[in-house]
């Protein structure tokens, strides 16, 4: 095999089926913090990391998207095939391959390993999840397996600390080509059955007993749907119920800091910038972090457990009504966290038509950035009271907003389907074994979300807060001017200028300013409102104070205004990043423009109807 020079690391690619633990192994070896989950579609791009072996060997490790075959049927499989074969944009083929296979599902994973073997490149097989296989009564004769495959087979447990030590030691040795390669005409299914017969003994036939018992309920056409709805419903209830104590703590800390800093600074521009600009804007937004983390905690647990592919299977018939299949479910569910990775995850969908439709409707899934806006408006205009002894009315409304986005997405998909009536959908999906969520992976996932949120707060939101403070503070009002000084500022002038366009949907000029700046990031709307009202001499240094002001008789907001603004955020594409990723994934501004136009049109229509209906019933 090719050896690395003193300055050039050895390039090794990790390949394997989805759900084999490939990315977890990548994290073990490189110390990276890539996303790990128990479903197909997590790794949709190549990732690189470097590490040094115990003997000082420099390795560049490439984590490739999961693939079922080198006969690619989806964009992510094309990336894996082309890199393995050295056809990826002029990039040379890896010096060696590590094929990761799931010890609990050898019947499926060995077939792909035999395909990789045909490339006749230096390779190692990492037999992952051997601990789970042992618990299920599977005895695997590893020396016999090595002999039949003609390559080194190394047992690993990617989710446990030190679970890759044997693989590290093997990488320190020369990696050889397979000792024998199957003929192109060989039947891989026959070969897999022969290998399993000679190498694997199922002592107790327990390999899938638990999975079958659980699937009787979880995949049941009636009980399965009830379980899914209950899980989603509890998730949204938890967002309001569990997060409140943590939100109150952040609010108290922010208020305490603001008061003490105000006392330290003299009256003037600097104090106004820090208190009315940074603390009012950033402080109000950061208090919503607990809700976002609770939402992600639920999603990460569902991902890790192996439940998501079953939900996709369960919803396949329902999604077929809209011309899609269950494969679209996972990218759409990922979009509840953020539409950007959700849209990227559509690369796992083989059908170009399904992929495009899924991309176009993904922005309608309620991402976590909408959550602060929803929470603010629901808290201001929906009373906090118990419904049916156990349910929170505010949680019910939040659940309804999520459902509304889903229903709208299916209607749009149904409209797009009419352009291709002859299309037939077939879902072929691997159902991974159930497993308890790995605490370390859950904590890593939450830490990543904290890092992303703090990065947004420290860059986008802080920048917008300072920019808005400048726009709202200058120029100063002329001598003898009446009304708040902010009315004479640049932000006030722009808001009043575009307000006539939004008057039919009940938006005041402050909302207009928030909409413009909110294109940078959806949660910036909260920052904008807090800054604008703070500069207008309203105490809004915390979400509670802003909520109290919005719902008070002294503000220009009514219940109709709040509901109209909620409807706007259900549909409007208030995020440049989402439009940019649509353009990148479709390689066309046409579809990004189409998405922006239809989403803005739906937002305006929904807000218009809501404003007029609510005004009629609430006056």
Q: How confident is the model at residue 419 (pLDDT cuts 50, 70, 90)?
A: low
The CB density around residue 205, as the number of other CB atoms within 10 Å, is: 10
pLDDT at 142 over 90: yes
pLDDT at 39: 42
Tell me which DSSP letter residue 364 carries: G
pLDDT at 86 over 90: no
Is residue 474 within 8 Å of 494, Cβ to Cβ?
no
* Span 401-415, average pLDDT: 89
Which of 13-27, 42-56, 345-359, 504-518 is predicted with the least confidence, judged by mean pLDDT? 42-56
pLDDT at 153 over 90: yes
pLDDT at 311 over 60: yes
Is residue 107 within 8 Å of 190, Cβ to Cβ?
no
Domains within the chain, CATH numbers bracketed: 10-202 (3.40.50.300)
The rounded distance, in Å, linking the Cα atoms of 71 and 32 is 30
pLDDT at 37: 47
pLDDT at 2: 46
Q: Which of 383-387, 424-428, 607-611 has the highest mean pLDDT?
A: 607-611
pLDDT at 406: 87
pLDDT at 213 over 60: yes
pLDDT at 178 over 90: yes
The rounded distance, in Å, linking the Cα atoms of 529 and 48 is 41
* Span 304-319, average pLDDT: 79
Burial class, 215, CB count within 10 angstroms (exposed 0-12 / middle 13-18 / buried 19+): middle
Q: How confident is the model at residue 427 (pLDDT cuts 50, 70, 90)?
A: low
Query: Over the chain, what is the mean pLDDT?
Result: 83
Q: Which pTM does this prediction carry?
A: 0.69
* Span 257-280, average pLDDT: 79
* Span 482-507, average pLDDT: 85
State which H helix or E strand residue 48 sits in. Answer: strand 47-52
The rounded distance, in Å, linking the Cα atoms of 613 and 536 is 30
pLDDT at 420: 56
pLDDT at 428: 58
The answer to whether the bond into 475 is cis (omega within 30° of 0) is yes
* Span 393-399, average pLDDT: 85
pLDDT at 259: 77
**DSSP line for 8-23:** SPEEEEEEE-TTSSHH
Q: Which two tokens stand for residue 617?
A: 């019933």
What percentage of the chain carries pLDDT values higher than 70?
90
pLDDT at 426: 56
Q: How confident is the model at residue 1 (pLDDT cuts 50, 70, 90)?
A: very low
**Beta-bridge mates of residue 202:** 138
pLDDT at 125: 96
pLDDT at 183 over 80: yes
* Span 21-38, average pLDDT: 74
pLDDT tens track for 334-392: 787 788 878 877 877 777 788 899 999 999 988 888 888 998 999 899 888 877 666 77
State which H helix or E strand residue 214 sits in. Answer: helix 209-218
Each as own residue / partner, the long-range contacts of residues 529-533 (CB below 8 Å, 24 or more positions apart, any chain) are 530/280, 530/281, 530/283, 530/284, 530/285, 531/276, 531/277, 531/280, 531/281, 531/465, 531/468, 531/469, 531/472, 532/468, 532/472, 532/486, 532/491, 533/280
The rounded distance, in Å, linking the Cα atoms of 341 and 46 is 14
Q: Which residues of 169-188 are buried (b: 16+ CB within 10 A; e: fewer)?
A: ebbeeebebbeeebeeeeeb
Q: How confident is the model at residue 314 (pLDDT cuts 50, 70, 90)?
A: confident
């Amino acid at each position: 095999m090719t050896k690395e020079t003193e300055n050039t690391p050895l390039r090794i690619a990790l390949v394997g089926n989805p759900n084999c633990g490939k990315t977890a192994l990548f994290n073990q070896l490189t110390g990276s913090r890539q996303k790990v989950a128990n479903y197909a579609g997590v790794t949709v791009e190549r990732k690189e990391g470097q590490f040094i072996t115990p003997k000082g060997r420099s390795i560049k490790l490439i984590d490739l998207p999961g693939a079922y075959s080198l006969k690619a049927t989806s964009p992510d499989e094309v990336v894996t095939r082309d890199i393995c074969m050295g056809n990826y944009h002029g990039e040379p083929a890896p010096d060696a391959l590590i094929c990761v296979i799931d010890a609990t599902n050898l019947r499926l994973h060995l077939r792909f390993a035999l395909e990789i073997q045909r490339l006749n490149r230096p390779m190692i097989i990492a037999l992952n999840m051997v601990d789970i296989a042992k618990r299920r009564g599977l005895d695997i004769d590893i020396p016999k397996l090595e002999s039949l495959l003609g390559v080194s087979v190394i047992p690993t447990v990617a989710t446990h600390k030190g679970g890759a030590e044997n693989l590290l030691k093997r990488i320190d040795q020369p990696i050889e080509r397979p000792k024998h390669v199957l003929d192109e005409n060989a039947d891989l299914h026959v070969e897999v059955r022969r290998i399993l017969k000679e190498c694997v003994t199922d002592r107790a036939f327990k390999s899938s007993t638990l999975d079958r018992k659980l699937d009787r309920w979880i995949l049941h056409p009636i009980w399965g749907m009830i379980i899914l709805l209950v899980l989603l419903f509890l998730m949204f209830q938890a967002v309001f119920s569990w997060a409140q104590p943590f939100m109150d703590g952040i609010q108290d800390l922010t208020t305490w800091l603001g008061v003490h800093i105000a006392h330290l600074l003299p009256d003037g521009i600097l104090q106004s910038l820090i208190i009315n600009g940074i603390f009012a804007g950033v402080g109000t937004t950061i208090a919503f972090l607990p809700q976002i983390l609770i939402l992600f905690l639920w999603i990460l647990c569902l991902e890790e457990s192996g439940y998501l592919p079953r939900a996709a299977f369960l919803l396949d018939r329902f999604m077929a009504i809209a011309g899609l299949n269950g494969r679209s479910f996972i990218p759409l569910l990922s979009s509840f966290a953020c539409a950007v990775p959700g849209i990227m995850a559509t690369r796992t969908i083989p059908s170009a038509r399904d992929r495009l439709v899924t991309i176009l409707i993904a922005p309608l899934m309620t991402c976590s950035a909408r959550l602060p806006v929803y929470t603010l408006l629901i808290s201001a205009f929906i009373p906090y009271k118990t419904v049916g002894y156990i349910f929170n009315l505010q949680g019910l409304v939040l659940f309804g907003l999520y459902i509304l986005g889903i229903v709208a997405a299916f209607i749009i998909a149904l409209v797009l389907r009419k352009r291709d009536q002859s299309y037939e959908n077939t879902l072929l999906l691997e159902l991974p074994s159930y497993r308890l969520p790995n605490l370390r992976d859950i904590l890593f996932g939450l830490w990543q979300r904290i890092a992303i949120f703090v990065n947004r707060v420290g860059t986008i939101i802080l920048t917008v807060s300072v920019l808005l403070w400048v726009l709202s503070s200058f120029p100063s009002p002329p001598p003898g001017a009446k009304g708040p000084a902010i009315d004479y500022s640049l932000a006030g002038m722009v808001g009043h200028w575009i307000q006539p366009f939004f008057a039919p949907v009940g938006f005041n000029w402050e909302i207009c300013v928030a909409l413009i700046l909110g294109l940078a990031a959806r949660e910036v709307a909260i920052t904008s409102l807090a800054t604008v009202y703070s500069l207008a001499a309203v105490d809004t240094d915390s979400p509670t104070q802003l909520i109290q002001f919005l719902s008070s008789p002294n503000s220009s907001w009514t219940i109709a205004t709040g509901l109209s603004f909620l409807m706007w955020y259900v549909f409007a594409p208030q995020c440049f990043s989402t439009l940019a990723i649509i353009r990148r994934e479709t390689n066309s501004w046409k579809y990004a423009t189409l998405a922006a136009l239809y989403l803005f049109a739906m937002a305006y229509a929904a807000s218009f109807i809501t404003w007029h209906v609510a005004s009629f019933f609430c006056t």
